[in-house]
Protein backbone atom coordinates (compact mmCIF):
# COMPACT_ATOMS: atom_id res chain seq x y z
CA UNK A 1 0.00 0.00 0.00
CA UNK A 2 1.34 3.44 -0.98
CA UNK A 3 0.14 6.52 0.89
CA UNK A 4 0.14 9.85 -0.99
CA UNK A 5 -0.63 13.12 0.79
CA UNK A 6 -3.67 14.98 -0.71
CA UNK A 7 -2.57 17.66 -3.12
CA UNK A 8 0.94 16.28 -3.66
CA UNK A 9 2.26 16.13 -7.20
CA UNK A 10 4.47 13.09 -6.63
CA UNK A 11 5.91 10.78 -4.05
CA UNK A 12 6.91 12.40 -0.76
CA UNK A 13 9.88 11.13 1.26
CA UNK A 14 9.23 10.02 4.81
CA UNK A 15 11.85 11.46 7.15
CA UNK A 16 13.52 9.32 9.79
CA UNK A 17 12.43 10.12 13.36
CA UNK A 18 14.50 12.89 15.02
CA UNK A 19 15.80 10.47 17.67
CA UNK A 20 16.47 6.77 17.06
CA UNK A 21 14.67 4.06 18.96
CA UNK A 22 16.76 2.96 21.92
CA UNK A 23 16.78 -0.44 23.56
CA UNK A 24 18.48 -0.80 26.93
CA UNK A 25 19.49 -3.90 28.87
CA UNK A 26 21.03 -3.83 32.33
CA UNK A 27 22.29 -6.74 34.42
CA UNK A 28 22.90 -6.00 38.08
CA UNK A 29 24.90 -8.63 39.94
CA UNK A 30 24.95 -8.51 43.74
CA UNK A 31 27.35 -10.75 45.66
CA UNK A 32 27.39 -11.09 49.45
CA UNK A 33 30.28 -13.60 49.42
CA UNK A 34 32.37 -14.74 46.47
CA UNK A 35 31.54 -18.41 47.09
CA UNK A 36 27.80 -17.76 47.57
CA UNK A 37 25.13 -17.70 44.84
CA UNK A 38 24.88 -14.33 43.11
CA UNK A 39 21.69 -12.33 42.67
CA UNK A 40 21.14 -11.20 39.08
CA UNK A 41 18.50 -8.59 38.20
CA UNK A 42 17.91 -8.19 34.45
CA UNK A 43 16.05 -5.15 33.16
CA UNK A 44 15.24 -4.58 29.48
CA UNK A 45 13.65 -1.37 28.20
CA UNK A 46 12.10 -1.04 24.75
CA UNK A 47 10.77 2.05 23.00
CA UNK A 48 8.92 2.72 19.76
CA UNK A 49 8.38 -0.32 17.55
CA UNK A 50 10.26 -2.48 20.06
CA UNK A 51 7.74 -1.56 22.75
CA UNK A 52 4.85 -2.28 20.38
CA UNK A 53 6.28 -5.71 19.57
CA UNK A 54 6.82 -6.62 23.23
CA UNK A 55 3.35 -5.34 24.12
CA UNK A 56 1.74 -7.53 21.46
CA UNK A 57 3.81 -10.63 22.27
CA UNK A 58 3.34 -10.36 26.03
CA UNK A 59 -0.42 -10.03 25.59
CA UNK A 60 -0.47 -13.45 23.93
CA UNK A 61 1.93 -15.18 26.39
CA UNK A 62 1.19 -16.59 29.82
CA UNK A 63 3.40 -15.93 32.82
CA UNK A 64 4.60 -19.54 32.66
CA UNK A 65 5.58 -19.18 29.00
CA UNK A 66 7.51 -15.95 29.66
CA UNK A 67 9.32 -17.54 32.62
CA UNK A 68 10.30 -20.55 30.56
CA UNK A 69 11.57 -18.40 27.67
CA UNK A 70 13.68 -16.13 29.87
CA UNK A 71 14.89 -19.01 32.06
CA UNK A 72 16.04 -21.04 29.06
CA UNK A 73 17.88 -18.04 27.60
CA UNK A 74 19.73 -17.36 30.86
CA UNK A 75 20.58 -21.05 31.30
CA UNK A 76 22.51 -20.93 28.02
CA UNK A 77 24.85 -18.42 29.68
CA UNK A 78 24.77 -19.70 33.25
CA UNK A 79 23.54 -23.34 33.32
CA UNK A 80 22.68 -23.25 37.06
CA UNK A 81 20.68 -20.00 36.92
CA UNK A 82 17.24 -20.17 38.54
CA UNK A 83 14.45 -17.66 37.90
CA UNK A 84 13.06 -16.18 41.13
CA UNK A 85 9.47 -14.94 41.25
CA UNK A 86 7.40 -13.69 38.33
CA UNK A 87 8.44 -11.81 35.25
CA UNK A 88 7.51 -8.14 35.73
CA UNK A 89 6.18 -5.99 32.85
CA UNK A 90 5.78 -2.22 33.08
CA UNK A 91 3.92 -0.43 30.29
CA UNK A 92 4.21 3.34 29.86
CA UNK A 93 1.81 3.95 26.97
CA UNK A 94 2.19 7.72 27.10
CA UNK A 95 5.93 7.44 26.31
CA UNK A 96 5.42 4.15 24.41
CA UNK A 97 8.01 2.39 26.57
CA UNK A 98 7.88 -1.19 27.83
CA UNK A 99 10.10 -2.51 30.62
CA UNK A 100 10.65 -6.21 31.34
CA UNK A 101 12.34 -7.33 34.59
CA UNK A 102 13.41 -10.75 35.80
CA UNK A 103 15.35 -11.88 38.87
CA UNK A 104 17.74 -14.85 38.99
CA UNK A 105 19.87 -16.69 41.50
CA UNK A 106 23.13 -17.93 39.96
CA UNK A 107 25.32 -20.41 41.90
CA UNK A 108 29.01 -20.39 40.99
CA UNK A 109 28.61 -17.37 38.73
CA UNK A 110 32.28 -16.47 39.23
CA UNK A 111 35.21 -18.68 38.26
CA UNK A 112 38.08 -18.68 40.75
CA UNK A 113 41.82 -18.83 40.16
CA UNK A 114 44.74 -18.44 42.55
CA UNK A 115 44.65 -14.65 42.27
CA UNK A 116 41.25 -13.56 40.94
CA UNK A 117 37.57 -14.19 40.24
CA UNK A 118 36.17 -13.83 36.72
CA UNK A 119 32.69 -13.58 35.25
CA UNK A 120 31.68 -13.61 31.59
CA UNK A 121 29.58 -10.89 30.02
CA UNK A 122 27.68 -10.94 26.74
CA UNK A 123 25.63 -8.07 25.32
CA UNK A 124 23.00 -10.37 23.85
CA UNK A 125 20.81 -7.43 22.82
CA UNK A 126 23.55 -6.39 20.37
CA UNK A 127 24.38 -9.85 19.03
CA UNK A 128 22.29 -9.88 15.85
CA UNK A 129 21.85 -6.17 15.20
CA UNK A 130 24.68 -6.01 12.65
CA UNK A 131 25.75 -8.97 10.55
CA UNK A 132 29.12 -9.50 8.89
CA UNK A 133 28.38 -9.91 5.16
CA UNK A 134 29.07 -13.35 3.74
CA UNK A 135 31.01 -12.02 0.76
CA UNK A 136 33.82 -9.55 1.24
CA UNK A 137 33.54 -8.05 -2.26
CA UNK A 138 30.10 -6.77 -3.31
CA UNK A 139 28.69 -4.92 -6.29
CA UNK A 140 25.62 -3.57 -4.48
CA UNK A 141 25.24 -1.68 -1.18
CA UNK A 142 24.65 -3.62 2.04
CA UNK A 143 21.43 -2.74 3.86
CA UNK A 144 21.40 -2.01 7.60
CA UNK A 145 17.82 -3.05 8.47
CA UNK A 146 17.69 -1.63 11.99
CA UNK A 147 18.62 1.97 11.19
CA UNK A 148 17.99 4.30 12.95
CA UNK A 149 18.57 2.40 16.20
CA UNK A 150 20.61 2.61 19.39
CA UNK A 151 21.35 -0.10 21.95
CA UNK A 152 22.80 0.10 25.46
CA UNK A 153 24.09 -2.73 27.63
CA UNK A 154 25.24 -2.41 31.23
CA UNK A 155 26.59 -4.97 33.68
CA UNK A 156 27.14 -3.87 37.28
CA UNK A 157 28.96 -5.95 39.89
CA UNK A 158 28.21 -5.13 43.52
CA UNK A 159 30.88 -6.89 45.56
CA UNK A 160 31.14 -7.77 49.28
CA UNK A 161 32.01 -5.01 51.77
CA UNK A 162 35.48 -6.48 52.26
CA UNK A 163 36.55 -5.24 48.80
CA UNK A 164 38.58 -2.04 48.52
CA UNK A 165 39.55 -1.62 44.87
CA UNK A 166 41.46 1.31 43.42
CA UNK A 167 39.09 3.57 41.48
CA UNK A 168 39.88 3.60 37.77
CA UNK A 169 38.23 3.61 34.37
CA UNK A 170 38.98 2.83 30.73
CA UNK A 171 37.09 3.24 27.49
CA UNK A 172 37.46 2.03 23.92
CA UNK A 173 35.62 3.05 20.76
CA UNK A 174 35.17 1.35 17.41
CA UNK A 175 34.07 3.99 14.89
CA UNK A 176 32.72 3.42 11.39
CA UNK A 177 30.54 5.61 9.14
CA UNK A 178 27.74 3.04 9.62
CA UNK A 179 28.00 2.58 13.40
CA UNK A 180 29.75 3.71 16.55
CA UNK A 181 30.45 1.31 19.42
CA UNK A 182 31.85 2.34 22.82
CA UNK A 183 32.88 0.20 25.77
CA UNK A 184 33.59 1.78 29.15
CA UNK A 185 34.60 0.03 32.36
CA UNK A 186 34.58 1.85 35.68
CA UNK A 187 36.11 0.44 38.87
CA UNK A 188 34.78 1.64 42.22
CA UNK A 189 35.84 0.72 45.72
CA UNK A 190 33.30 -2.08 45.99
CA UNK A 191 32.09 -2.55 42.46
CA UNK A 192 32.62 -2.56 38.74
CA UNK A 193 30.44 -1.23 35.94
CA UNK A 194 30.65 -2.17 32.27
CA UNK A 195 28.81 0.06 29.78
CA UNK A 196 28.42 -0.68 26.09
CA UNK A 197 26.74 1.64 23.58
CA UNK A 198 26.05 0.87 19.94
CA UNK A 199 24.57 3.49 17.60
CA UNK A 200 23.60 2.81 13.99
CA UNK A 201 24.54 5.81 11.85
CA UNK A 202 23.53 4.82 8.31
CA UNK A 203 20.91 2.70 6.54
CA UNK A 204 23.39 1.16 4.09
CA UNK A 205 27.05 0.43 3.49
CA UNK A 206 28.40 1.25 0.07
CA UNK A 207 29.75 -1.77 -1.81
CA UNK A 208 33.30 -0.38 -1.86
CA UNK A 209 33.30 -0.19 1.96
CA UNK A 210 32.10 -3.72 2.70
CA UNK A 211 35.53 -5.07 3.63
CA UNK A 212 36.34 -2.09 5.85
CA UNK A 213 32.92 -2.37 7.51
CA UNK A 214 33.49 -6.09 8.17
CA UNK A 215 36.80 -5.40 9.87
CA UNK A 216 35.31 -2.72 12.11
CA UNK A 217 32.33 -4.91 12.95
CA UNK A 218 34.55 -7.84 13.91
CA UNK A 219 36.62 -5.51 16.10
CA UNK A 220 33.42 -4.40 17.83
CA UNK A 221 32.23 -7.98 18.26
CA UNK A 222 35.37 -8.68 20.29
CA UNK A 223 34.38 -5.86 22.67
CA UNK A 224 30.74 -6.92 22.89
CA UNK A 225 31.49 -10.09 24.86
CA UNK A 226 34.32 -10.99 27.18
CA UNK A 227 35.35 -11.49 30.79
CA UNK A 228 35.45 -9.17 33.80
CA UNK A 229 38.02 -9.83 36.50
CA UNK A 230 38.34 -8.81 40.17
CA UNK A 231 41.50 -9.58 42.14
CA UNK A 232 41.81 -11.24 45.51
CA UNK A 233 44.46 -8.69 46.44
CA UNK A 234 41.63 -6.11 46.54
CA UNK A 235 39.67 -8.10 49.11
CA UNK A 236 40.72 -7.41 52.68
CA UNK A 237 41.49 -10.44 54.81
CA UNK A 238 41.60 -12.84 51.84
CA UNK A 239 44.73 -14.97 51.70
CA UNK A 240 46.16 -14.96 48.20
CA UNK A 241 47.90 -18.15 47.22
CA UNK A 242 51.34 -17.64 45.69
CA UNK A 243 50.61 -17.50 41.98
CA UNK A 244 51.57 -20.61 40.10
CA UNK A 245 51.61 -19.24 36.60
CA UNK A 246 51.79 -22.60 34.86
CA UNK A 247 48.88 -23.99 36.88
CA UNK A 248 46.83 -20.87 36.11
CA UNK A 249 47.57 -21.14 32.41
CA UNK A 250 46.69 -24.84 32.31
CA UNK A 251 43.38 -24.14 34.06
CA UNK A 252 42.67 -21.42 31.51
CA UNK A 253 43.51 -23.83 28.70
CA UNK A 254 40.83 -26.27 29.90
CA UNK A 255 38.21 -23.50 29.86
CA UNK A 256 39.29 -22.32 26.42
CA UNK A 257 39.12 -25.85 25.01
CA UNK A 258 35.49 -25.89 26.11
CA UNK A 259 34.86 -22.40 24.72
CA UNK A 260 36.13 -23.46 21.29
CA UNK A 261 33.95 -26.58 21.34
CA UNK A 262 30.87 -24.61 22.44
CA UNK A 263 31.37 -22.06 19.65
CA UNK A 264 31.73 -24.77 17.02
CA UNK A 265 28.66 -26.68 18.24
CA UNK A 266 26.49 -23.57 18.24
CA UNK A 267 27.61 -22.43 14.79
CA UNK A 268 29.38 -19.31 16.10
CA UNK A 269 32.81 -18.26 14.87
CA UNK A 270 35.43 -19.66 17.29
CA UNK A 271 38.05 -17.09 16.27
CA UNK A 272 38.18 -15.20 19.56
CA UNK A 273 38.41 -18.38 21.65
CA UNK A 274 41.08 -19.78 19.31
CA UNK A 275 43.06 -16.56 19.69
CA UNK A 276 42.94 -16.70 23.49
CA UNK A 277 43.85 -20.39 23.46
CA UNK A 278 46.78 -19.63 21.15
CA UNK A 279 48.12 -17.07 23.62
CA UNK A 280 47.86 -19.52 26.51
CA UNK A 281 49.53 -22.29 24.53
CA UNK A 282 52.34 -19.92 23.58
CA UNK A 283 52.95 -19.11 27.25
CA UNK A 284 52.98 -22.82 28.05
CA UNK A 285 55.63 -23.46 25.39
CA UNK A 286 53.24 -25.28 23.04
CA UNK A 287 54.50 -23.30 20.07
CA UNK A 288 53.24 -25.50 17.24
CA UNK A 289 49.70 -25.80 18.64
CA UNK A 290 49.64 -22.06 19.45
CA UNK A 291 50.52 -21.08 15.89
CA UNK A 292 48.02 -23.61 14.52
CA UNK A 293 45.21 -22.06 16.62
CA UNK A 294 46.13 -18.49 15.69
CA UNK A 295 46.43 -19.33 11.99
CA UNK A 296 43.07 -21.09 11.99
CA UNK A 297 41.45 -18.05 13.63
CA UNK A 298 42.85 -15.78 10.92
CA UNK A 299 41.69 -18.11 8.14
CA UNK A 300 38.17 -18.26 9.56
CA UNK A 301 37.92 -14.45 9.79
CA UNK A 302 40.63 -13.14 7.50
CA UNK A 303 39.35 -9.55 7.68
CA UNK A 304 39.47 -9.41 11.49
CA UNK A 305 42.45 -7.22 12.32
CA UNK A 306 42.26 -8.17 16.00
CA UNK A 307 42.84 -11.83 15.13
CA UNK A 308 45.70 -10.98 12.80
CA UNK A 309 47.31 -8.92 15.59
CA UNK A 310 46.73 -11.89 17.89
CA UNK A 311 48.66 -14.18 15.54
CA UNK A 312 51.45 -11.60 15.36
CA UNK A 313 51.65 -11.67 19.17
CA UNK A 314 51.74 -15.48 19.16
CA UNK A 315 54.53 -15.46 16.57
CA UNK A 316 56.45 -13.06 18.81
CA UNK A 317 55.92 -15.21 21.90
CA UNK A 318 57.09 -18.33 20.08
CA UNK A 319 60.22 -16.75 18.60
CA UNK A 320 59.07 -16.46 14.98
CA UNK A 321 59.95 -12.80 14.91
CA UNK A 322 59.99 -12.20 11.14
CA UNK A 323 56.46 -13.62 10.80
CA UNK A 324 55.35 -11.48 13.77
CA UNK A 325 56.69 -8.33 12.08
CA UNK A 326 54.94 -9.25 8.83
CA UNK A 327 51.56 -9.67 10.55
CA UNK A 328 51.92 -6.46 12.60
CA UNK A 329 52.80 -4.65 9.34
CA UNK A 330 49.69 -6.02 7.62
CA UNK A 331 47.49 -4.75 10.46
CA UNK A 332 49.11 -1.30 10.28
CA UNK A 333 48.76 -1.22 6.48
CA UNK A 334 45.01 -1.77 6.88
CA UNK A 335 44.82 1.43 8.90
CA UNK A 336 44.27 -0.36 12.21
CA UNK A 337 47.56 0.49 13.91
CA UNK A 338 46.64 0.66 17.59
CA UNK A 339 49.46 1.62 20.01
CA UNK A 340 49.84 -2.05 21.01
CA UNK A 341 50.36 -2.98 17.34
CA UNK A 342 53.12 -0.39 16.89
CA UNK A 343 54.68 -1.53 20.16
CA UNK A 344 54.60 -5.18 19.06
CA UNK A 345 56.26 -4.37 15.74
CA UNK A 346 58.80 -2.29 17.62
CA UNK A 347 59.73 -5.34 19.70
CA UNK A 348 59.97 -7.45 16.55
CA UNK A 349 62.30 -4.91 14.93
CA UNK A 350 64.37 -4.79 18.10
CA UNK A 351 64.77 -8.58 18.11
CA UNK A 352 65.68 -8.44 14.39
CA UNK A 353 68.46 -5.98 15.24
CA UNK A 354 66.79 -3.10 13.43
CA UNK A 355 66.99 -0.38 16.13
CA UNK A 356 66.16 2.57 13.85
CA UNK A 357 62.88 0.97 12.74
CA UNK A 358 62.18 -0.15 16.31
CA UNK A 359 62.61 3.41 17.59
CA UNK A 360 60.20 4.76 14.96
CA UNK A 361 57.58 2.18 16.00
CA UNK A 362 57.99 2.94 19.70
CA UNK A 363 57.52 6.64 18.94
CA UNK A 364 54.22 5.82 17.22
CA UNK A 365 53.22 3.65 20.19
CA UNK A 366 54.08 6.58 22.47
CA UNK A 367 51.12 8.51 21.07
CA UNK A 368 48.82 6.31 23.15
CA UNK A 369 46.33 8.03 25.42
CA UNK A 370 46.55 5.22 27.97
CA UNK A 371 49.21 6.17 30.52
CA UNK A 372 50.59 2.65 30.88
CA UNK A 373 50.93 2.15 27.11
CA UNK A 374 52.50 5.58 26.67
CA UNK A 375 55.06 5.04 29.44
CA UNK A 376 55.93 1.55 28.17
CA UNK A 377 56.71 3.00 24.75
CA UNK A 378 58.72 5.83 26.32
CA UNK A 379 60.77 3.31 28.34
CA UNK A 380 61.61 1.40 25.14
CA UNK A 381 62.65 4.64 23.45
CA UNK A 382 64.88 5.41 26.40
CA UNK A 383 66.42 1.94 26.21
CA UNK A 384 67.45 2.73 22.62
CA UNK A 385 69.31 5.85 23.69
CA UNK A 386 66.79 8.66 23.23
CA UNK A 387 66.54 11.27 25.94
CA UNK A 388 63.96 9.92 28.42
CA UNK A 389 61.03 12.12 29.24
CA UNK A 390 60.30 13.20 32.76
CA UNK A 391 58.49 10.42 34.59
CA UNK A 392 54.74 10.69 34.72
CA UNK A 393 52.64 10.50 37.85
CA UNK A 394 51.51 6.88 38.03
CA UNK A 395 49.72 5.56 41.08
CA UNK A 396 50.82 2.35 42.76
CA UNK A 397 49.81 -0.64 40.66
CA UNK A 398 50.94 -2.50 37.60
CA UNK A 399 52.53 0.59 35.98
CA UNK A 400 54.34 1.96 39.04
CA UNK A 401 57.72 0.69 37.84
CA UNK A 402 57.60 2.56 34.50
CA UNK A 403 58.54 6.06 35.76
CA UNK A 404 61.31 4.44 37.82
CA UNK A 405 62.58 2.74 34.67
CA UNK A 406 62.78 6.14 32.98
CA UNK A 407 64.67 7.45 35.99
CA UNK A 408 67.06 4.51 35.66
CA UNK A 409 67.83 5.25 32.01
CA UNK A 410 68.38 8.90 32.92
CA UNK A 411 70.78 7.95 35.72
CA UNK A 412 68.42 9.07 38.46
CA UNK A 413 67.73 5.58 39.87
CA UNK A 414 69.53 2.26 40.16
CA UNK A 415 68.40 -0.99 38.50
CA UNK A 416 68.01 -2.47 41.98
CA UNK A 417 65.53 0.25 42.93
CA UNK A 418 63.47 -0.41 39.79
CA UNK A 419 63.44 -4.17 40.47
CA UNK A 420 62.26 -3.55 44.03
CA UNK A 421 59.29 -1.57 42.66
CA UNK A 422 58.49 -4.41 40.25
CA UNK A 423 58.65 -6.95 43.09
CA UNK A 424 56.21 -4.90 45.19
CA UNK A 425 53.70 -4.49 42.36
CA UNK A 426 50.75 -6.78 41.97
CA UNK A 427 49.28 -8.31 38.85
CA UNK A 428 47.42 -5.87 36.59
CA UNK A 429 43.64 -5.78 36.49
CA UNK A 430 42.76 -6.49 32.86
CA UNK A 431 39.27 -5.33 32.00
CA UNK A 432 38.34 -8.17 29.70
CA UNK A 433 39.64 -11.29 28.05
Biggest alpha carbon–alpha carbon distance for the chain: 86
Residue 4 domain flag: no
CATH of the domain at 234: 2.60.120.1130
Q: What is the mean pLDDT of residues 29-51?
A: 92
Could you give phi then psi for residue 96, rounded to 5 degrees? Answer: 55, 55
**H helix count then E strand count, the chain:** 13, 13
406: pLDDT strictly greater than 60: no
Of 66, 90, 109, the one marking the end of a domain is 109
Residue 182: per-residue pLDDT: 92
Q: Are residues 97 and 129 in the same domain?
A: no
pLDDT bin (cut points 50, 70, 90) of residue 367 is confident
142: pLDDT strictly greater than 50: yes
Residue 106: per-residue pLDDT: 93
- Tell me how far apart the alpha carbons of residues 48 and 54 are, in angstroms, rounded to a whole number: 10
Q: Is the peptide bond before 200 cis (omega within 30 degrees of 0)?
A: no
Q: What is the mean pLDDT of residues 116-122?
A: 87
Residue 24 domain flag: yes
In sequence order, the β-bridge partners of residue 103 are 41, 84
Please give the residue range of the domain that contains residue 26.
19-33+110-239
- Tell me how far apart the alpha carbons of residues 15 and 240 are, in angstroms, rounded to a whole number: 60
Q: What is the mean pLDDT of residues 304-308?
A: 79
Q: What is the mean pLDDT of residues 219-231?
A: 83
- Tell me how far apart the alpha carbons of residues 37 and 56 are, in angstroms, rounded to a whole number: 35
- Tell me how far apart the alpha carbons of residues 259 and 262 are, in angstroms, rounded to a whole number: 5
Residue 410: per-residue pLDDT: 60
Q: What is the mean pLDDT of residues 219-234?
A: 83
Q: What is the mean pLDDT of residues 321-336?
A: 88
- Tell me how far apart the alpha carbons of residues 155 and 84 are, in angstroms, rounded to a whole number: 19
Specify whether the CB–CB gap between 139 and 185 falls below 8 A. Answer: no
Of 50, 83, 109, the one marking the end of a domain is 109
Q: Which of 233-242, 284-293, 346-355 has the lowest mean pLDDT?
A: 233-242
- Tell me how far apart the alpha carbons of residues 278 and 306 are, in angstroms, rounded to a whole number: 13
Q: State which of 109-123, 175-189, 253-267, 362-376 shows the largest mean pLDDT.
A: 175-189
Between residues 375 and 11, which one has the greater pLDDT?
375
The pTM (predicted TM-score) of the whole model is 0.61
Amino acid sequence: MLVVHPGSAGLDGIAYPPAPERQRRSEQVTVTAMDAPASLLVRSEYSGAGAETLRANSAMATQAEMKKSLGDAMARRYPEAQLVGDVVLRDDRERNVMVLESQFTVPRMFSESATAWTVDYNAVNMADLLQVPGAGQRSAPLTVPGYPYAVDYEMTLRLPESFAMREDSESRTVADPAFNGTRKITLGKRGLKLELQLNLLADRIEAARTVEFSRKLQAWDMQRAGTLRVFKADMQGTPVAPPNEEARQRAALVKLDQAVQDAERSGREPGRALCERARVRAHLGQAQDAIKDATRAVKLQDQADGLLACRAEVYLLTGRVAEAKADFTRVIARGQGEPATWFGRGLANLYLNQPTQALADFREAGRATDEGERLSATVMQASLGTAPAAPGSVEDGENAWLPVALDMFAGRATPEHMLSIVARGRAPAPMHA
